[in-house]
Structure 1
C-alpha cells in the first residue's frame, strides 16, 4: 500500500508555513489601527496548529526520498489543502465572505488566476489586500518550484524534455533540488523587490506598489483596486508590461544568468517565440484599433501592449477600455490566453514550448507526406524531440482542449449563459483571470455565478495550474497498486 505519511508530513509543514506568513498582514492591519488584524491572528493560530499536528502525526525518522507516486500526491495535496486555510482570514474577518466564496478567492489566488468574487475591493482593509497579493506570490513561487524540480521528473506534458538541463531531482541527487530552490527563491524575490521599487518610484502609493509587485511577478493579477491598472500613469503601464514579461519567462534561465551565462536566456527558443508571438499580436491589434478608432497612437499601443501581455502571461491585470475593443482584439486575446507563456515560469496555458513542438511536428508530417521515405528529424532548441516527449505533448493538448470543453458545458448546465460559461472556462483552465460576459456586467467579478459553477471554476483553476495530467493520473486504479 502506498505510504502517505511522507506526503502528509510535507503538506503539514507547508500549511504551518502558510499560517506563519499570515502574521505579515496581521501586523500591517495592527499598525494601521484596523481591528481586522484579529482575523489574521485567529486564522494564523488555526493554520499553524493544524499543519504542525499533521506533520507530527506523519513524521518518520530517517524517511527515504519521496517516490514518484508520492511526488504526484504531494503536488496535488498542497494545492488542494492550502486554499482551505488561505480562505480563513476572508471568513473570520473582512470581507465576511461565505466559505465557498472565500475558498474560491483563495484558490484563485494560490493558482495565480486572479479571478475574484469580492465586490467593492477598494474598501477592504490593507491587510486583506496584502494577503490576496501574498497568495498570488506564494502560489507563483510554488508553481515555479514544481515546474523546475518536479514536472520534468514526473514526465507531465512533455516536461521530461527539460531533464536534459541537468535538473534530475530525485533519489541520490535530491540535495541538488535544494540548491535549485534556493537560487530560484533569490531570483523570484529579487525580481519582486525590483518591481515594487519601480512601481513606487513611478508614483504608485507604497502599499499598492507592494501588492501589485507581489502579484505582477507571480503573474497572479490580484489588485487592491477594483479598476485594476486603469487610472495609473502611462509609465506605470509600461513598467507593469515589462515585469509581466519578466515573470513569464523560464526561471531556469534566470538561475543560469545568476551563474554568469546570459546566452542561455537570449538563445532560448521559448523566449524568442514568446516575444515574437506577443509582439506580432500587439502590432496587429494596435494597427486594427488605430484604423477603426480616432485614438492617438501612443495610448493605443500602450493599452494594447499592456492588456495582451497580461492575457498571454496569464496575469490578469486590465484597463477599463479592453472589453470595448471589439471582436478582432478579443479573438486575438482568446488565442493568446490558450497558448500562454513559457514553461518553467509561473505562467499558465498550453505554453509556447508545447505549441512550438506541436507545430514543428505537424510541419514534419507534412514533409513526410510529400516524400514517404524521407527522414525528417524533429528538433527543438537544437536538441532532438523523442517520440515519448512528442506523445506526452500531444496527449496534453488533447487533455487541455477536452477539459476546456467539458468545464464549459458543465458551467453552462448550471444555468449560466453561453458567453459567460465559455469565457469562465477559458479564464480558469488557463489561469488567466480576465472576466467578460453578461454575468460580470453588474460587479465586474464572478460573484453572480451559481455556487456549483464557482466550484467547477475553482477545480478548473487547480487542474490548469497543475498541468491537468498530474491530477488525472491519480484517479487511475493502477496508480494505487503496489
Structure 2
C-alpha cells in the first residue's frame, strides 16, 4: 500500500457525492408525502432535498475524472465516512422543518435512523409532520439496504469481522453462489428487500393499519430499525393482534440471512434447512419466546399490568404474542415495543438484557454480534476441550459441513473481544457522563447493538431526549461502530492506518 499522499481522494469524494445525491432523492420523495398530506412543510422538505442533490452533484462533477480503482484503505474511509456524511446531510429535513431544531438531537436521530438503531429523542412523535416522519423511516430503509451491500460486496473484500465466511456461503465460488458478479448478487437481494417491504405494507393495510402507518412500519421492520409513527410504538395496536403477528413474521425474515430468502424463492429449501445458523436462530427465537411466555402467563398479575388491552384472544395467546414479539424485536435488533418488559419480572428484565448480545443472522439487516459468530465461538470452545485431550489431532471448526479457515476463527474471536471491550468502555463513559448504572449498562448494550430500547431511564417506553448532549454524541459513535462491524471505524483511529508504508 502506498503512502497517504497516494490515497485516491477523488474516488472517495465522488462516492460521497453520489451518497449525497441519493439522500437528496429520498428527501424529495419525502416532500411528496408532505404535499399529499398537506402537512405544512412541503417547501422546507423540497429545500432540504435540493441542497443535498445540488451539493452531491457539484462534488461528483468536480471529481468525475477519478481513477476507478479502490484500494483497501480507501474502502475503509468510504464505508466509515459514508455513514457519517449521510447522517450529517440527513439532518436537513429535521432542521429545515423545525421538527428537531437542535443539531445534536437532529444528528442523533439521523444516525439512529441510518444505523437502524431506532433510539429516538422525540417525545411526541405523533405531532411531527408526516413528510418528516416518512423521511425518518426512510433513513432506516436506506441504512438496511446499505448493510446488505456492505455484507455482500464490501466487507468481505476488506476482511471484516468474519463476514468472509458469509461471502463464501453466498457469492463466492461453489454451488451456493447467487450470481458470479457481486453487483448482480446485491441487486437480487435488493429486489427481495423491496418485495418484502411492499408485501408487509399490503398485509398491514389489510389488517387495519392506515396506509401511511403501514408503509412506515414496513420500512422500519425490514431494516430492523424500530422507528414508529406512534408514541406507543406497536403497543398502539395491542387490540389488533393480527397486525402484531404480521410484524413478528417480517421481523423474523429481516433477521435471517437474505440469501436464504433467495433460495426459498428458487425452491431450494434444502439449503435453508441445512443452514446451521438459521437452525440455531430459529431455535433461539422459539426457545426464548417459550420461556418468556410461560413466565408472563404464570406471573400474569405483574406482567399484564404493562400491556394495554392484553387479552383480546385470551391471556395465554397474549402471553405468547408479547413474548414472541419482544424476543424477536431484541434478537433482530428491531426495537419495536408491544409492552414494557422492564415492568415484568426482574428475571425477564435480565433475560431481555442478555438477548441484546445475540443479534440476528449474518447477511441480514440486524445488528449485534450475529448468531453465526456465536455458533463458531461455541464450536471452537468445544474443540478446545478435544484439543486438550488430543494435542496432535487436526480438529478444524466446521460450519455448514465446511472447514472454517483458522484466520476467520481468530477474526471472530477478536471481534467478540473488541465488541465486549467496546461495551465496557461504553458503560464507563456513560457513567462518567452522569447516567446511573442500570441506564449506562442498557444504553451501551442497546446503542452498540443497534437495538433502541434499553434499561433504566432508556427503557422501552422512554426517550433518549433527556441524555446530556455529550452522551448523545457518544451514543451516536457507539451506534456507528456497532453498525459497521467495529473494525471498519476503529481502524481509522489507529496510527498505522495513516502511516506511510
Alignment TM-score, normalising by the size of structure 2: 0.91
Q: Indicate the residue corresponding to 1:191 in structure 2.
A: 196
TM normalised by structure 1 equals 0.95
The alpha carbon displacement at 1:440 in A equals 6.0
Counterparts of 1:7-86 in structure 2, within 5 Å, are 7-60=12-65, 63-86=67-90
Work out the CA distance in 2 between the residues paired with 1:8 and 1:212. Answer: 33
Q: Give a deviation string over 1:231-267, Cα, whole Å, max 9, x none.
A: 3111111111110010111112233444453332332
Structure 2: distance between partners of 1:25 and 1:121: 17
Unaligned runs of 5+ in 1: none
**Partner of 2:332 in structure 1?**
313
Q: Which residue among 180, 184, 201 is the counterpart of 1:179?
A: 184
Say whether residues 1:250 and 2:257 are aligned partners.
yes
Per the alignment, residue 159 of structure 1 pairs with 163
Task: Output one character per residue of 1:174-202: Cα deviation in whole Å (capped at 9) or x when no partner.
Answer: 99122112112111000000011110110
Q: Is the 8 A contact 2:8 2:70 kept in 1?
A: no
Question: How do 1:101-116 residues align onto structure 2 when only pairs under 5 Å count?
Answer: 101-116=105-120
1:449 counterpart (443, 467, 475): 467
Q: Deviations over 1:446-480 (max 9, x none)?
A: 00000000000000000000000111122233323
Quote the Cα distance in structure 1 between the aligned partners of 2:493 and 2:180.
30
> What residue in structure 2 maps to residue 208 of structure 1?
213
Query: Where does structure 2 lack aligned partners over 5 or more consecutive residues?
Result: 174-178, 305-314
> RMSD value over aligned CA atoms?
1.8
Contact 2:442 2:458 in 1 (8 A): no
Q: 1:65 to 1:379 in 2, by over 3 A?
A: same
Distance 1:262 1:326, change over 3 A: same
* Aligned counterpart for 2:446 among listed residues 420, 427, 442: 427
Is the 8 Å Cα contact of residues 13 and 51 (structure 1) preserved in structure 2? yes
Q: Give, in angstroms, the shift of residue 16 of structure 1.
A: 0.7
**TM-superposition CA deviations, 1:301-346 (whole Å, max 9, x none):** 1000001100000000012342211222122211221111101111
Could you tell me which of 387, 392, 398 is aligned with 2:411? 392
Name the residue aligned to 1:404.
Answer: 423
Please give the secondary structure, in 2, of the residue aligned with 1:22.
helix
* In the alignment, structure 1 residue 236 sits paired with structure 2 residue 227: no
In the aligned structure 1, how far is the partner of 2:72 from the partner of 2:63?
18
Using the TM superposition, give the Cα deviation of residue 407 of structure 1 relative to its aligned residue in structure 2, in angstroms: 1.1
Aligned with residue 413 of structure 1, among 432, 435, 439:
432
* Alignment check: 8 A CA contact 1:439 1:448 kept: no
Q: Is the 8 A contact 1:153 1:168 kept in 2?
A: no
Change (3 A) 1:439 1:108: closer
What residue number does 2:99 align with? 95
